[in-house]
């Protein structure tokens, strides 16, 4: 019974993007697209802050019926040209919508063709740690018999 359940679970796709760089990634959006030559609106939602970011990324694939290829620029904010400044590194949920517009950044009423997970990596990020000092240093042991 459990094996059948695991087989039926929907696989989530993972996109990995490096902060302040250009990243190429592929997706398979053609299978669920209803429009002939759609423009794709991407929605990225931060797991940590729940902030949503929208951008339109041009499909640069030469074989769109097999896969869709995108060139995303992270670090500059030009959402109608495939670039965003996403903020903090971490995990994001993403959704992709098809449309017939190169300027619309509102997904209301659009057909969703894919969703998944995106990881934003910042190789320059250095976490800061604060060491906790314990005072007093005497340990107390609970003894229920006393």
The domain tally of the chain equals 1
In a domain, 140, yes or no: no
Check: CB of residue 23 under 8 Å from CB of residue 125. no
Q: How far apart are CA 34 and CA 22, in angstroms?
A: 29
pLDDT in tens, 62-88: 988 899 999 999 999 999 999 999 988
Asked if the structure places residue 129 within a domain, the reply is no
Q: What domain range includes position 99?
A: 10-121
Whether pTM > 0.85 for this model: the answer is no
In a domain, 142, yes or no: no
Q: What angle do CA 91, 106, 45 make, to 5 degrees?
A: 10
Closest CA to 24 of 74, 94, 86, 75: 74
| Any domain includes 1 | no
78, part of any domain: yes
Q: What is the CATH number of the domain that holds 17?
A: 2.60.40.10
At 144, the pLDDT band (50, 70, 90 cuts) reads confident
Kindly state whether residue 39 falls inside one of the protein's structural domains: yes
């Amino acid at each position: 019974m459990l094996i059948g359940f695991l087989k039926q679970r929907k696989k989530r796709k993972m996109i990995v993007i490096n902060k302040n760089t250009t990243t190429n990634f592929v997706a398979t959006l053609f299978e669920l697209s209803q429009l002939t030559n759609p423009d794709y609106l991407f929605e990225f939602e931060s797991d940590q802050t729940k902030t949503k970011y929208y951008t339109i990324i041009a499909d640069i694939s030469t074989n769109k019926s097999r896969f869709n290829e995108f060139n995303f620029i992270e670090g500059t904010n030009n959402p109608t040209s495939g670039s965003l400044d996403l903020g903090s590194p971490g995990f994001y949920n993403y959704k992709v919508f098809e449309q017939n517009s190169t300027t619309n950044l509102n997904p209301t009423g659009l057909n969703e063709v894919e969703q998944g997970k995106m990881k934003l990596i910042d190789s320059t990020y250095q976490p800061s740690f604060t060491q906790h000092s314990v005072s007093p240093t005497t340990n107390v042991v609970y003894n229920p018999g006393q």
